[in-house]
Structure 1
Amino acid sequence: MTIDNRAISVSLVILATIAVFYVLVVGQAFLVPLAVAVMVWYVINALSRTFARAIPLFEKPNWITLILALISIGLFFGFAINMVSDNITAVRAAAPEYKANFDQMLIKLGADSRFDLLPNVKQMVSRIEIAPLISTLASTFTGMIGNISLVLFYVMFMLLEQGTFQKKIAAIFPDRYRRHSIMSILSHAQEDIQTYLWIKTVTSSLTGIISYGVLKWVGVDFAGFWAFTIFMLNYIPTIGSIIATLFPAILALIQFDTFTQFFIVLAGVGAIQVAVGNFLEPRLMGNSLNVSPFVVMMSLTLWGSIWGIAGMFLSVPITVMMLIVFAHFEKTRYIAILLSGDGSLKFAEVNGELAGMEQANSDSRNTA
């Protein structure tokens, strides 16, 4: 009987997993804007909290700091939409010229006897199509802009509902222990995701701004557009930073038809990525995120295959939320340990407190 129960449980878990992935794939058009809206909502609340700390008049976030955060986010979205819209047509129009420069460079490369030992490399490089690559990037940004109105619509209702959220939780979970457990999960998830997104936004902005200075100094076309691309790609763990370094360097190569600007951009943007990503960002993050780097890469691959580029952006916040949820339940805590970076869970004190509360509730019920 026990074996049958275990078989049924395993079967139910497999069926539930298949159902979840089916819903994630089929409902992509609805779920991706909703997930992005949740992340934007987190950033708004994190920014509101930052304003409360920065302004001496406020002890904690309130409606004034929330309005300041909304204005800041609105200005950012307005800047992004205008900048991408103004540059996207020009970038597409310049693609044939870049392709001509790239082909000319390959001809010179083939005529140079010093590169006779690299036929495979030259053959591989000659197959690179510049125009479709730029068009794909432009189409991606266009699609993101097209979903902004829906995302902002979701965010507006989340902000209107967040004031009554605790009352709803209290009504749904009248038991004090279960209510405290749910609120603990939500509180830790909100705190960690807000911290991650806020620090990632600050470091990505810093990387984009400094990279803009390098690209402008070298004379790369549409430096603002490529700096914004660097800013966005830095939200994708590891792979995004690599692409954000290589992409503007390749564009410099095909624009100038020489290697000098290519190496300057590659070294300059690469040094910025290393300095911010390997030194500044870990110092700011501290121990707030204890997620295994291998798990981050696996999550990046998984969510990228399900939701494409949007899934890559959302992979780390989703993984952090899963780790927090798994850590709060004894039966799934081993999964949280596997997902963590060093096997330690910072929720141990909370879990101990909840266990004590559960014991107290049980004792009071027995006494009654």
Structure 2
Amino acid sequence: MKHVPPPEDTNAQRFELARVQTAALVIIAFAVVLFLLVQAQFILISLAVAIILFSLTADVISFIARQRIGRLRVPNWLASIVALLLIGAALLTMTSIVVAQINTVLQITLAYAERAPEAIAALFSWAGDDTEAAVLNSMRSIELSGYLRGAAGGATSLTQASVLVILFVGFLFAERVWFQTKLLAFTGNPAQAKRIGLIISSIIHRVNYYLLVKTGISLVTGVMTYVMAQAFGMEIAMPLGVMTFVLNFIPNVGSIVATGLVALAAYVQFGDPTLTVVIFVISGAIQFMNGSVIDPMLMGRALRLSSFGILVSLAFWGAVWGIPGMFLSVPIMVMMLVVCSHVPALRPIAILLSREGLPDSEDQLDKS
């Protein structure tokens, strides 16, 4: 009898082929999205900042619009215009302060540039004359002017981005009146529209709380750093305070960089290792007290983000968007955590992003 081979399992082959095609499409889609994120980073970063500023002030505008002056009530459009003017003035003022301090640091850096290589090389004198000479030659080979031109260009871009952010915020204020109507028309289901609205409100609440607490702690840290630098007679006390305030918005890495900058500036100015160590210890103690003690105590369980997840988000968005991406990494991660917590298919991702592996439930969404 002739042997007849068993029929091939076509269903299994089709299923395996579909899995391979799906995986390939996911990889291609990720590559396309990543390309667009990099190419349109200036506009996307400005839009992300505008959304954050809009979320910070949306509740305030609603509160103002509910107030009455005698028999008259403040119109929503008037409250929006006042809020936009205040945001624009505050943003441009803050940008001018940061740019002025950056320019001050650049000018002083140029003045310190000639003695900085010798000062840094002296830190390695304990390893021998050859090592010190090698470090000195390496430091002198660095084209400092190129880095300074890049920093100056970044400061100019910061001013341009501020204007674009103000324009985006203005359009968001104009659209907020019709948001609920559009959401209902988009979903076609009042219950689903309400649920999406609750998710968006939860995201806004968490991001706002994080930014308010982080701003307060960063401000206190910057003021304490300024007072400390002023007490030791450092020439760039104010720029160091402003830079510390800004860098503390970058999770984990920002405080380390700020402490290193304070110590490096002290050593370049004074050239005294003992005094530099004292300033480094005091600056590190300020950062540790505010960042590792007060910050977690105020944040509490409001965010519940994984520390490793924060580092991964910081590395990814830093690679995609540079320094602005580092500032936005935590708000973006908060948004992902809330969304993934309430989408059943994405809930495993929320478990990985949360600190204890316990993301929000539907009951918590109703209470938020």
Which TM bucket (shorter chain)? 0.7 to 0.9
- The alpha-carbon deviation at position 29 of structure 1 amounts to 2.5
Instruction: Give the partner amino acid of 1:102.
Output: A
Partners in 1 of 2:227 and 2:37 — Cα distance?
40
Partners in 1 of 2:301 and 2:121 — Cα distance?
52
Partners in 2 of 1:124 and 1:346 — Cα distance?
52
Q: Percent identity?
A: 31
- Would the aligned equivalents of 1:296 and 1:319 in 2 still touch at CA under 8 Å? yes
Query: Which deviates the most, 180-189 or 281-290?
Result: 180-189
Partners in 2 of 1:121 and 1:297 — Cα distance?
34
- Structure 2 matches for 1:188-267, cutoff 5 A? 188-267=202-281
Give the equivalent residue in structure 2 for 1:10.
23
CA separation of 1:127/1:187 partners in 2, compared to 1, >3 Å: closer, same or farther? Answer: same
- Structure 2 matches for 1:266-305, cutoff 5 A? 266-305=280-319
- The alpha-carbon deviation at position 246 of structure 1 amounts to 0.6
Q: Is 1:318 aligned with 2:329? A: no
2:326 is paired with a residue whose SS is helix
CA separation of 1:26/1:97 partners in 2, compared to 1, >3 Å: closer, same or farther? Answer: closer
Query: Which deviates the most, 62-71 or 255-264?
Result: 62-71
Partners in 2 of 1:208 and 1:23 — Cα distance?
36
Give the equivalent residue in structure 2 for 1:366.
none
Partners in 2 of 1:177 and 1:19 — Cα distance?
34
- Would the aligned equivalents of 2:203 and 2:335 in 1 still touch at CA under 8 Å? yes
Q: Is 1:27 aligned with 2:40? A: yes
1:147 is paired with a residue whose SS is helix
- Would the aligned equivalents of 2:305 and 2:353 in 1 still touch at CA under 8 Å? yes
- The alpha-carbon deviation at position 9 of structure 1 amounts to 3.0
Q: Is 1:141 aligned with 2:155? A: yes
- Would the aligned equivalents of 2:46 and 2:165 in 1 still touch at CA under 8 Å? yes
Highest CA radius of gyration, 1 or 2? 2
CA separation of 1:298/1:147 partners in 2, compared to 1, >3 Å: closer, same or farther? Answer: same
Instruction: Give the partner amino acid of 1:186.
Output: I
Partners in 1 of 2:279 and 2:82 — Cα distance?
36
Give the equivalent residue in structure 2 for 1:171.
185
Give the equivalent residue in structure 2 for 1:100.
114
Aligned length: 343
TM-score scaled to structure 1, two decimals? 0.81
TM-score scaled to structure 2, two decimals? 0.81
Instruction: Give the partner amino acid of 2:320.
Output: I
CA separation of 1:211/1:117 partners in 2, compared to 1, >3 Å: closer, same or farther? Answer: same
Instruction: Give the partner amino acid of 1:317.
Output: P
Deviations 1:303-356 (A, max 9, x none): 111111111111111111112111111111111111111110123425799xxx
Structure 2 gaps, min length 5? 1-13, 70-74
Partners in 2 of 1:177 and 1:3 — Cα distance?
38
CA separation of 1:120/1:290 partners in 2, compared to 1, >3 Å: closer, same or farther? Answer: farther
- Would the aligned equivalents of 1:83 and 1:225 in 2 still touch at CA under 8 Å? no
Give the equivalent residue in structure 2 for 1:43.
56
Instruction: Give the partner amino acid of 1:303.
Output: W
Partners in 2 of 1:259 and 1:350 — Cα distance?
54
Q: Is 1:341 aligned with 2:355? A: yes
- The alpha-carbon deviation at position 66 of structure 1 amounts to 7.2
Partners in 2 of 1:323 and 1:332 — Cα distance?
10
- The alpha-carbon deviation at position 222 of structure 1 amounts to 2.9
- Would the aligned equivalents of 2:84 and 2:169 in 1 still touch at CA under 8 Å? no
The alignment yields a C-alpha RMSD, in angstroms, of 3.3
CA separation of 1:124/1:347 partners in 2, compared to 1, >3 Å: closer, same or farther? Answer: farther
Structure 1 gaps, min length 5? 354-368
Partners in 2 of 1:126 and 1:232 — Cα distance?
32
Give the equivalent residue in structure 1 for 2:138.
127
Deviations 1:175-225 (A, max 9, x none): 133213312321221111111112111111111111111112222223222
- The alpha-carbon deviation at position 158 of structure 1 amounts to 1.4
